[in-house]
């Protein structure tokens, strides 16, 4: 599934490169503030030492805001984004119970840097990401135990963006969120789930409005 997402993203990025470059010079001016929306798919994976590895893929959508500075063909900037993607991964626990690990959102604050080719910008991005996690255990006796919190970690990826008509641009990108290992605990709950290693792979397209 991950490889398929990667190939889709690479094909989309290559499509940006094929956009006609016959735009006026002003169209390739990336300096300024921008805001936009994106949609795509996210693959969420949860790895535990005690209960095994699980993953799920869901539709994702959200928004982004940022600022670019252009230095010739080099563009650098900073961007923040938030994505909604409701995922739920279920585990069977010892003793006949169930455990659901749910996440509804992730977000990031990243730097971006790349080079321009005509109206297109090819870039790499990296920074810090967050996701909200909730876990609900239903014991064999029918008792519900809940735990929730925020995981954080690194995010990195590649993308391509091109002006359609000033001031609108279209982007394609793939991002990987690695939140690392964190603990999920329940007062009086299961002892078998001691830690959760969570990650998201996001493939998405977006439309951006630029302000000069």
Q: Identify the domain containing residue 62 by its residue range.
A: 2-211
**Which of 83-92, 118-127, 129-138 is modeled with the greatest confidence?**
118-127
Query: β-pairing, 32-48 with 196-211?
Result: antiparallel
Residues 141-166: pLDDT tens digits? 777 777 777 888 999 999 999 998 88
Residue 169 near residue 161, CB atoms below 8 Å: yes
Residues 52-104: pLDDT tens digits? 677 788 899 999 999 999 999 999 999 999 999 887 777 776 667 777 778 88
Residue 171 near residue 148, CB atoms below 8 Å: no
Output the domain CATH number for residue 27.
2.40.160.20
Structural domain count, the chain? 1
Q: By mean pLDDT, which of 5-9, 83-87, 148-152, 199-203 is the weakest?
A: 5-9
Please tell me the predicted confidence (pLDDT) of residue 129.
Answer: 94
User: Which comes out higher in pLDDT, residue 70 or 1?
Assistant: 70
pLDDT class of 138 with cuts at 50, 70, 90:
confident
Distances (CA, A) of 114 to 102, 103, 119, 126, 173: 35, 31, 13, 12, 13
Contacts of 20 (CB under 8 A, 6+ apart): none
Please tell me the predicted confidence (pLDDT) of residue 86.
Answer: 80
Assess whether pLDDT exceeds 70 at residue 180: yes
Q: Which has the closest alpha carbon to 31: 4, 68, 2, 58? A: 68
Contacts of 128 (CB under 8 A, 6+ apart): 108, 109, 110, 152, 153, 154, 155
Please tell me the predicted confidence (pLDDT) of residue 81.
Answer: 97
Please tell me the predicted confidence (pLDDT) of residue 184.
Answer: 60
Q: How many CB atoms are closer than 10 A to CB 200?
A: 25
End-to-end CA distance of the chain: 40
């Amino acid at each position: 599934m991950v490889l398929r997402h990667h190939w889709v993203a690479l094909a989309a990025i290559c499509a940006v490169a094929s956009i006609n470059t016959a735009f006026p010079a002003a169209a390739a001016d990336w300096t300024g503030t921008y805001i936009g929306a994106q949609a795509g798919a996210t693959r969420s994976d949860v790895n535990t030492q005690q209960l095994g590895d699980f993953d799920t893929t869901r539709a994702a959508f959200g928004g982004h805001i940022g600022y670019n500075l252009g230095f010739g063909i080099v563009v650098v900037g900073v961007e923040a984004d938030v994505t909604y993607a409701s995922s739920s991964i279920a585990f069977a626990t010892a003793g006949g119970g169930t455990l659901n690990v749910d996440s509804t959102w992730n977000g990031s604050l990243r730097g971006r840097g790349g080079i321009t080719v005509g109206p297109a910008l090819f870039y790499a991005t990296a920074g810090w990401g967050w996701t909200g996690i909730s876990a609900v255990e239903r014991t064999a006796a029918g008792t519900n135990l809940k735990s929730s919190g925020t995981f954080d970690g690194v995010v990195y990826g590649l993308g391509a963006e091109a002006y359609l008509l000033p001031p609108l641009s279209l982007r394609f990108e793939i991002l990987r969120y690695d939140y690392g290992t964190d603990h999920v605990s329940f007062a009086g709950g299961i002892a078998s789930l001691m830690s959760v290693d969570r990650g998201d792979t996001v493939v998405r397209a977006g439309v951006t409005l630029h302000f000069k």
